C-alpha cells in the first residue's frame, strides 16, 4: 500500500466543510458527462475528511440528479446529520455552477470486535493470473480482468471480474472510493447482453438514453484495492425503461467486503441525444 491517496481523489478546501474536487485528464465515457463512480468516490472522500479519524464509511447512497461537465469546477458540501461516539452520518452535495448535480447520504462508524461472524461463500472462479484484461469504467490505471463464461442465475446476466489498483491508497475512504468506482459503470451494458436485437451498449447516448440514477454501497469489512478483488455484478431486472442491478465484492481469500445495488435508466431515444437532456 502507498503512503498517499491518488491525486484524483484529492480535495481542495474552499470554505467551511466545502471542497473543490479534482477532475480526470480524460472522460471515463468518452463524452463530457462526469461519471457516477467519480461523484460517489469524491463525496465519500469529503465525508471522511470531516469525520472523526476513528470512524470509517459503512454505507453510501448516492443519487445522480443532473449530469456534470469536466470543463467547470465541481464542489462538494458536507452537512453533518449526526456525530456521536461510535456512529456518524452526513449529507454530501455536489454542485457545479450553482446547480445541484448529486447528493449522497453517508453512514460512518467505528469498527467493533466480532460478536459473531458468517458470510456467503465466494463463487468458484479462476484466479486473475492468466486472464486477459477487459474494459470497464474503473478508476484510472486500475486493472479489470473478466472471468470467462456465463454464470447460471436463472435468467439474469452476471459478470465476474478481478479488479486491482496496484499502487493502492493510504486511507480507508480512498480504498472504498476506488473499489466503488468499479461497481458503477457495467450493469447497464450487462443488462443489454441478452437483448442484442433491441439494445446494444454501443448505441448508448446515440439511439438509447442510458444513465445511472442511484447507487448504494455497503462496506462490510476492510477494503485494500492494491490486492485483487473479485467483483460480481448481476443485472437482476430490466423492464419499464429501467435496469436494477446488484453485486458483491470479495477478497481473493474469500472475504465478502462490500455489496451494492444500482437503479439505472435504459430506454429508446431515436436520434442523436444531447447528454445534458439524457437524465
pLDDT at 206: 79
pLDDT of residue 275: 46
Structural domain contains residue 237: yes
**Which pLDDT value is given to residue 1?**
64
Give the tens place of pLDDT for each residue, 128-148: 999 999 999 999 999 999 999
3-state secondary structure of 135: coil
Q: What is the pLDDT of residue 271?
A: 60
Q: Where are the alpha helices (DSSP H) in the chain?
A: 36-50, 172-184, 187-192
**Phi and psi dihedrals of 253, rounded to 5?**
-90, 10
* CB-CB contact of 158 with 232 (8 Å): yes
CA dihedral in degrees (28, 30, 34, 39; nearest 10)? -10
Task: Print the domain residue range for 202.
Answer: 7-110+129-277
Which three three-digit cell numbers place residue 146?
473478466
Let me know if residue 93 belongs to a domain: yes
Query: With bands split at pLDDT 50, 70 and 90, how would you rate the model's confidence at 278?
Result: very low
Helices 36-50 and 172-184 pack at an angle, to 10 degrees, of: 160
Statement: the pTM of the whole predicted model exceeds 0.85: yes
Burial class of residue 257, CB neighbours in 10 A (0-12, 13-18, 19+): buried
The answer to the question of residue 122 being in a domain is no
Q: State mean pLDDT over 65-87.
A: 95
Asked whether the beta carbons of 193 and 201 are under 8 A apart, the reply is no
What's the CATH number where 102 sits?
2.40.160.210
The pLDDT assigned to 152 comes to 61
Is the residue at 124 inside a domain? no
CB under 8 Å to 176, separation ≥6 — which residues? 41, 44, 56, 57, 217, 219, 223, 258
Sheet with 208-219: list strands edge to edge.
11-15, 18-21, 75-83, 87-96, 99-109, 56-64, 208-219, 256-268, 242-251, 229-239, 158-164, 143-146
In a domain, 2, yes or no: no
**Dihedral sign of CA atoms 279, 158, 203, 198 in order:** negative
Neighbours of 30 (CB within 10 A): 8
d(CA 186, CA 139): 13
Which one-letter DSSP state was computed for residue 201? Answer: G
pLDDT of 147-205, one tens digit each? 998 776 678 999 999 999 999 999 999 999 999 999 999 999 999 999 988 888 877 77
Residue 272 lies in a domain: yes
Closest of 166, 161, 159 to residue 127, by C-alpha: 161
Structural domain includes residue 1: no
Q: Could you tell me the maximum CA-CA distance found in the chain, to the nearest angstrom?
A: 57
Does a structural domain hold residue 123? no
Number of domains in the chain: 1
Amino acid at each position: 500500500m502507498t503512503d498517499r491517496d491518488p491525486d484524483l481523489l484529492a480535495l481542495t478546501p474552499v470554505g467551511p466543510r466545502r471542497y473543490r474536487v479534482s477532475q480526470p485528464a480524460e472522460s471515463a465515457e468518452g463524452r463530457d458527462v462526469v461519471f457516477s463512480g467519480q461523484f460517489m468516490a469524491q463525496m465519500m472522500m469529503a465525508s471522511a475528511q470531516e469525520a472523526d479519524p476513528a470512524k470509517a464509511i459503512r454505507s453510501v447512497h448516492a443519487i445522480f440528479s443532473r449530469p456534470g461537465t469536466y470543463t467547470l469546477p465541481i464542489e462538494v458540501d458536507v452537512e453533518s446529520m449526526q456525530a456521536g461516539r461510535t456512529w456518524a452520518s452526513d449529507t454530501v452535495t455536489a454542485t457545479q455552477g450553482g446547480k445541484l448535480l448529486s447528493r449522497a447520504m453517508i453512514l460512518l462508524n467505528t469498527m467493533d470486535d466480532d460478536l459473531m461472524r458468517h458470510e456467503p461463500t465466494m463463487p468458484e472462479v479462476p484466479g486473475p493470473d492468466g486472464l486477459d484484461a477487459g474494459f470497464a469504467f474503473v478508476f484510472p490505471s486500475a486493472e479489470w480482468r473478466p472471468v470467462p463464461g456465463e454464470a447460471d442465475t436463472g435468467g439474469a446476466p452476471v459478470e465476474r471480474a478481478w479488479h486491482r489498483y496496484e499502487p493502492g491508497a493510504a486511507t480507508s475512504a480512498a480504498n472504498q472510493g476506488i473499489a466503488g468506482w468499479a461497481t458503477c459503470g457495467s450493469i447497464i451494458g450487462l443488462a443489454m447482453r441478452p437483448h442484442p436485437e433491441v439494445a446494444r451498449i454501443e448505441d448508448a447516448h446515440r439511439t438509447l438514453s442510458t444513465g445511472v440514477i442511484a447507487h448504494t454501497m455497503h462496506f462490510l469489512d476492510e477494503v485494500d484495492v492494491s490486492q485483487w478483488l473479485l467483483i460480481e455484478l448481476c443485472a437482476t431486472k430490466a423492464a419499464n425503461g429501467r435496469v436494477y442491478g446488484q453485486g458483491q465484492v470479495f477478497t481473493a481469500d474469500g472475504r465478502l467486503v462490500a455489496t451494492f445495488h444500482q437503479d439505472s435508466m435504459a430506454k429508446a431515444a431515436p436520434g442523436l441525444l444531447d447528454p445534458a437532456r439524457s437524465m
